Structures are given as structure tokens and as C-alpha cells.
Structure 1
Amino acid sequence: MSLYKHVLVAVDLTEEADEVLNKAQAIAEANDARLTLVHVVEPLSVAYGSDIPLDLTTLQDEITQQARERINKLAGKINIEKGDQHVVYGRPEREVHRIAEEHDIDLIVVGSHGRHGLALILGSTSTSILHGATCDVLAVRVGK
């Protein structure tokens, strides 16, 4: 009996993305589950404040294109089809939850740095994904 039928792995495209992807792949294979890959490109106005009087469209488009290339490369390592590769624009927790609901995901796998102190108080992307998810979430410890 399979615990999971469709696994969504959310990656941040750092060096640790491979570690998270490998864990998700092992779970998907053990459950004969489909594997979907997502990366969320955050709006630059969120990262740098909305008071910037610059048009960031070209830079945002370039960042998104680089993310697509990196996702395609990661997906190619384990044969994830194009239709199961997503690069989306927005807030990570909202977009991961949206994709999970739209694609009947029953497990979300995300990397977690296990932050402490101020970073713990302020929260993190993995914590945001955990809260509000309608399915199981596995936080893979990275950057040990």
C-alpha cells in the first residue's frame, strides 16, 4: 500500500536543492508516486521593498528565466517531465499551497535550514509552507 500518490518538492535552487530532491525522489519511488517540482520566484519588490522607484521587470524576467533553466536541469537528473516542472511567481507559501491543491498533492517536501534565534522568531519559508498546508509536509534538514 502506498502512502503517497503525488509528491511535490519545493526547491530554492541553492546547492542544497539536490539534497531535498534526492529525498523526495526516494519517497516517490518507494511509493510509486508521481513527482512534481516547483520553484517560486519572489517579487523583487518584496525582497527589496516596494519603495524602489525602478522598473524591475527586466531583472525579474531574467531571474525567472534562470530559475526555469535550473529547474529543467534538476528535473533532467531524475526524468521529471516538463508538465511536472513549475516555476511560478509570487509568495512561496501561497504558490506551493496553490499548486498542491490544484494537482492533488498528498506530500510536500521542502528544505529546512533549522534556523535558531531571530530567524526562528521571524519564521522561514518551510515553516510558512507547513502552516496552512492541506497535506503532509516533510522538512528535509539541509546545510547541517
Structure 2
Amino acid sequence: MPYHHILVAVDLTEECHPVMQRAQALALCSQAKLSLVHIVEPMAMAFGGDVPMDLSMLQQQQFDQARERLDSFAGTYPQLATEQRHLTYGQPRQEIHRLAEDQGCDLIVVGSHGRHGLALLLGSTANDVLHGAPCDVLAVRLKKS
């Protein structure tokens, strides 16, 4: 059964290229539309939500830098139109699920380090995305750096 719309969730590290390349190959085989998403997490989440200062200016700078990095990353994939690039703000699992549903995606592709032990217990974005996803999820195994 071919896929029609594939959503690739990336963290914009160098490790994202194999994830994107796998998604591209699937899209080509299925003649599917390909979309890309990066999620900027709220800074307050990193500090447990208990921050005694206004982080809005830092958050905007982080968002602007993420936009530049996303455009640079996507620029290496010329077939990926600007309207197929999404930058959102929030909790990764929720935002990926929301976008996949809103865009009518039938496959989400994410990278996975295949963590074991304590890292597995603490969870990962790939594991998070898998649970409750509105469609199929492909976790592309990334090589350890």
C-alpha cells in the first residue's frame, strides 16, 4: 500500500540527513508528497516551567535561528517546496501528531538512536511520536556518533 503524504520530523542536526534521505526514497517509490517539520520547544520546559524571568526575547531568537537552520537544511533538498517546510513551537510529540493530522499525512518518519537501559526508560522523541500517532511511524536507526 503506497503512502500519499510523508511527514519528516527533524531536530536539524547532521544526523537528520539519513532520515530525510530514507523519507525521500519512500516518497519517490510511492509518489508521495513530502513535508518537513522541526519543533522548537519552549524554554520554560527545559527549566521545569519555574523560571523567574521573561524568556520571550530569547525564545524568539531561538525560533529565528531555527528558521534559518531549517531553511538551510531544506535547501539541500530542492524538491522540498517552502510550503512543505513547517516550523512549530511546542511539545514535539503533540506538534508532530497535530501537523500529521492537519496535513493528512499517512506516515511520519523520525530518527532513532535505539537507546537502551536508562535512556530507554527516560524516553526519546521517536518513542514519544510512536505512541498515539494518527498514522504509521517509521523510526530510522541513526548511527552512534
TM-score, normalization by structure 1: 0.95
**Residue 140 (structure 2) pairs with residue 134 (structure 1):** no
Matched residue, 2:124: 124
Matched residue, 1:47: 46
Matched residue, 1:94: 94
For residues 10 and 112 of structure 2, what CA distance do their matches in structure 1 show?
10
SS in 2 for 1:111: strand
How many equivalent pairs are there? 143
Matched residue, 2:24: 25
Matched residue, 1:108: 108
- CA offsets 1:18-51 (integer angstroms, 9 cap, x no match): 1111111111111111100000000011112211
Structure 2 gaps of 5+ residues are: none
For residues 76 and 95 of structure 1, what CA distance do their matches in structure 2 show?
23
Alignment root-mean-square deviation, CA:
1.1
Matched residue, 1:7: 6
Q: 1:49 to 1:135 in 2, by over 3 A?
A: same
SS in 1 for 2:35: strand
For residues 76 and 29 of structure 1, what CA distance do their matches in structure 2 show?
18
Which has the higher mean CA deviation after the structures are superposed, 108-117 or 69-78?
69-78
Task: Report the CA distance between 1:143 and its aligned residue.
Answer: 3.0
For residues 143 and 51 of structure 1, what CA distance do their matches in structure 2 show?
35
TM-score, normalization by structure 2: 0.94
Letter in 1 for 2:136: D
